[in-house]
Amino acid sequence: MLKQLSIYAENKRGTMEVLTRILAENDINILGSVTNDSAEYGIIRMVVTDAAKACDALKAAGYICRLTDVLGVEITDEVGNLNKPLKACDESNVNIDYLYLSFNRETGKPIMVFHAEGPHEVELCLQAKGFSMSRA
Task: Set out the domains of the chain in order of their start, with CATH numbers.
Answer: 2-68 (3.30.2130.10), 70-133 (3.30.70.260)
pLDDT for 134 beyond 90? no
Nearest to 109 by CA among 32, 24, 20, 45: 32
Q: Alpha carbon of 28 to those of 46, 51, 53, 66: distances in Å?
A: 11, 8, 8, 16
The span from the CA of 83 to the CA of 89, in Å, is 10
Entry pTM? 0.86
Residue 135: the pLDDT is 77
Contact by Cβ (8 Å): 71, 122: yes
Vertex 59: Cα angle to 17 and 11 (nearest 5): 40
Q: Which residues lie closer than 8 Å to 112 by C-beta, 6 or more apart?
A: 72, 73, 75, 82, 85, 99, 101
Query: What value does the mean pLDDT take over residues 9-22?
Result: 92
The span from the CA of 52 to the CA of 3, in Å, is 9
Model confidence over 62-71: pLDDT tens digits? 999 999 999 9
